[in-house]
Amino acid sequence: MALSKKNYSSSQAFRQTYQSLKDHLSTSQKKKLKWIALLIFLSAVLDVFGLASVLPLVKMATEPEVIHTNKYFSFVYDYLHFTNDKSFMVFFIVVILLFQFFKTGFGIFVNYIEGKFMADVANNISRNQFSKYFSLSYFNFNSVKSSRIINHVQQNPASFTAWVMLPILMLFSESIILIFIVTLIAVYNLKLFLFILMIIGPASYLLYKSVNTKNEQIGRGLDKMFPQALAAINNSIMGFVDIKLANKIDFYREKFLKYQKEYHNLSMSSIVINMIPFRGYELVAILGIVVIFVYAIFIEGGSQDVIMMVGAFAAAAYRLMPSLNRIMNAIMQVTKNQVAIENLNEYNELYVKQSVMNRNVPIPFEKEITFENISFTFPKSKEPVLKSISFTVKKGEKVGFVGSSGSGKTTLMNILLRFFDEDNGRILIDGQPLKEDNLEYWRSMIGYVKQDIFMIDSNIMENVAFGEDQVDKHQLDLAVKQASLEDFVKSLPKGYDTEVGERGSRLSGGQRQRIGIARSLYRNAQILVFDEATSALDTQTEREVSEAIDSLSDTNKTIFIIAHRITTLKNCDRIYELKNGEISGVYTYNELVEKVI
């Protein structure tokens, strides 16, 4: 799915962000977010009071008589029976320090709660993204590049929480602080408030407009470059042998570095742009002080009130500038990372439709599987791959399929596995149509062994049990024995705990195939599908794997075998030949051998 080219205004970005929070946060997380917002509010209030608490101390240091003229100071002084101003000021300093420690500790506690919440949200979104992509149809899943799926499932949830949700909370917190400080300034000195509004307001607008559009372009560029760099390095790793043999290391290194360099350049550009508001507000603060000095010297004649206003402006700027910088960065981050929200929303409608459907409705298989007038055409293709295919397989039978490449053998099995849906016709299980609500139950009955067995980078036990937290040792031993792996496992010093290596690199081709067979048998699959399972093996290994398959004939399992080598089909009850999407003949093994000869 192509990236959106839409550029968002701030209002559009925040509307979409609000909707994304509604869509991607669970009910309990929404409740937690409200409590966190309250904690952030309290922390912001404490920050403002922390800043304001210093002012009375400065006042007492410059005008000690205020201790007695101010009714609040005077009340505390008399109530606690102080005898001199210095001891009262020491007491006040200790109180302020204790308050600052409390404020800092509370702020750290709020940050910790925020961090835990963000991690919980990111994990929940990753779970939903994983489920969403693996609920897609075979066609839809294969239409998305693997690097993009990795990005959307692993990287994007973290980007959403770190660069969309966290800035929103930062914006909320700093806005409260800003409002409180500006309100206090307006109450304290209206002239100073107007100066700040006149200087900082236009400056903030100009800074934001100067960087926002470029910032969003960088966000989209980063989202585009990361999957491409990931795909380039992944392809290089997968093609290690071919790259070495073809002496193309330089070519594939430069191909990877092309995307990685662009990614790094964009990342550095993002850092530079994010520094612009910080540097800009420093300049604004200096200009503000210069303007007040000019006003004091040339208009007010250097009056004491104006000089005090310079000090007040500097003090206010000391806290306002960081808040304004964080607010500006938060707005920029939210706008820049709208692409993260777009990524989360891809395929959402299809996922919602599928996730609410019960697909585990049982469909008993005791007698036969019937393919009834099955026809199928690939999307965007006019020529059908299968044309009115009909046949019946009794439970416990072993049937084979032969035919040239493209004749429809694997497509027919993919329809049986329900990766493809037939255009016309239907599959009947004991006379009952196989429907979508039977999907999960039906697949639990099937074991699939293909030419390239998927291997986990773990030990033999985990590769056979495949996703089981608690391994049934009896079932494991039985599956390994039926797959003719027992002697091999016993010969290993670590037995089942032997590591197989990445993609099964420490095993031979035949051993990988037998592990694939054992995996299906461990699940006690009633139906086994072998799709070119021996085609990549040498003659001796093929014979060994074929013997393992033949040994399953006494287990009452229904077996479908696709093969190029006819010898693999020796013990089949019958063999179907497919040609141009149709069944061109049905043979016994001997009849097929005679036909070929």
Residue-range domain boundaries for the chain: 10-354, 368-596
CB 208 within 8 A of CB 9: no
152-169: burial string, b at 16+ Cβ within 10 Å, e else: bbebbbbbbbebbbbbbb
In residues, how long is the chain?
A: 597
Q: Are strands 527-531 and 558-562 parallel, antiparallel or unpaired?
A: parallel
CB 333 within 8 A of CB 164: yes
Per-residue model confidence as pLDDT tens for the chain (597 residues) = 334 446 677 788 888 999 999 989 999 999 999 999 999 999 988 888 887 787 787 778 878 888 888 888 899 888 888 888 889 999 999 999 999 999 999 999 999 999 999 999 999 999 989 988 888 888 888 888 888 888 889 889 988 998 899 999 988 888 888 888 788 777 776 776 777 777 777 877 777 777 777 777 787 888 888 888 888 887 787 777 667 767 778 888 888 888 888 888 888 887 788 777 777 777 777 777 777 666 666 655 555 566 566 666 666 666 677 788 788 888 888 888 888 898 898 887 766 555 556 678 889 999 999 999 999 998 888 889 999 999 999 998 999 999 888 888 989 999 999 989 999 999 999 999 998 888 889 988 988 888 788 888 888 888 888 878 788 888 888 888 888 888 888 998 889 888 888 878 888 888 888 888 888 888 888 898 988 766 656 566 667 667 667 666 667 889 898 887 788 888 889 999 999 889 998 988 888 888 875
- Residue 155 Cα to chain centre, angstroms: 5
Q: Distance (Å, rounded) from C-alpha 89 to C-alpha 76? A: 11
Q: Distance (Å, rounded) from C-alpha 495 to C-alpha 515? A: 13
Residue 177 CB neighbours (<10 A) = 22
CB 153 within 8 A of CB 129: yes
Task: Write the single-letter amino acid at 39.
Answer: L
- How does pLDDT run across 87-144, given as a tens digit for each residue? 999 999 999 999 999 999 999 999 999 999 999 999 999 998 998 888 888 888 888 8
Q: Distance (Å, rounded) from C-alpha 2 to C-alpha 4? A: 6
- pLDDT of amino acid 2: 38
CB 133 within 8 A of CB 153: yes
- pLDDT of amino acid 594: 84
Q: What is the 3-state secondary structure (H, E, C) of 379-447?
A: CCCCCCCEEEEEEEEECCCEEEEECCCCCCHHHHHHHHCCCCCCCEEEEEECCEECCHHHHHHHHCCEE
Q: Distance (Å, rounded) from C-alpha 38 to C-alpha 173? A: 10
Half-sphere exposure (Cβ direction) of 378: Cα atoms closer than 13 Å: 14
Residue 391 has phi, psi (to 5 degrees) of -170, 165
Torsion, CA 152, CA 157, CA 158, CA 160, rounded to 10: 110
Query: Which CATH number applies to 10-354: 1.10.600.10, 3.20.20.80, 1.10.3720.10, 1.20.1560.10?
Result: 1.20.1560.10
- pLDDT of amino acid 63: 81
Whole-Å CA distances, 321 to 74, 140, 175, 295, 392: 35, 49, 12, 22, 78
DSSP state for residue 458 in the 8-state scheme: S
Vertex 145 angle, CA 9 and 408, to 5°: 140
CB 542 within 8 A of CB 534: yes
- pLDDT of amino acid 228: 84
- pLDDT of amino acid 354: 56
- pLDDT of amino acid 433: 93
Torsion, CA 125, CA 128, CA 132, CA 133, rounded to 10: 60
CB 30 within 8 A of CB 18: no
Which residue in 320, 334, 332 sits closest to 209, CA to CA? Answer: 332
DSSP string for residues in 238-253: HTHHHHHHTT-HHHHH
Which residue in 161, 176, 44, 178 sits closest to 114, CA to CA? Answer: 161
- Give the tokens for residue 115: 């961090």
CB 349 within 8 A of CB 172: no
Task: Write the single-letter amino acid at 23.
Answer: D
CB 427 within 8 A of CB 371: yes
Residue 409 has phi, psi (to 5 degrees) of -65, -55
Residue 84 CB neighbours (<10 A) = 10
Residue 482 CB neighbours (<10 A) = 21
pTM score: 0.77
Helix (H, G, I), strand (E, B) or coil at 356: coil
Helix (H, G, I), strand (E, B) or coil at 560: strand
Q: What is the 3-state secondary structure (H, E, C) of 68-113?
A: HHCHHHHHHHHHCCCCCHHHHHHHHHHHHHHHHHHHHHHHHHHHHH
Q: Which CATH architecture fits 368-596?
A: 3-Layer(aba) Sandwich (3.40)
Whole-Å CA distances, 330 to 9, 155, 196: 14, 20, 21
Q: Distance (Å, rounded) from C-alpha 217 to C-alpha 13? A: 14
Q: Distance (Å, rounded) from C-alpha 545 to C-alpha 563? A: 13
> CB within 8 A of 179, min separation 6: which ones?
none
Which residue in 334, 312, 323 sits closest to 44, CA to CA? Answer: 323
- Give the tokens for residue 26: 């669970």
Domains 10-354 and 368-596 equal at CATH topology level:
no
Residue whose pair of structure tokens reads 């799915």 in the numeric block: 1
Task: Write the single-letter amino acid at 566.
Answer: I
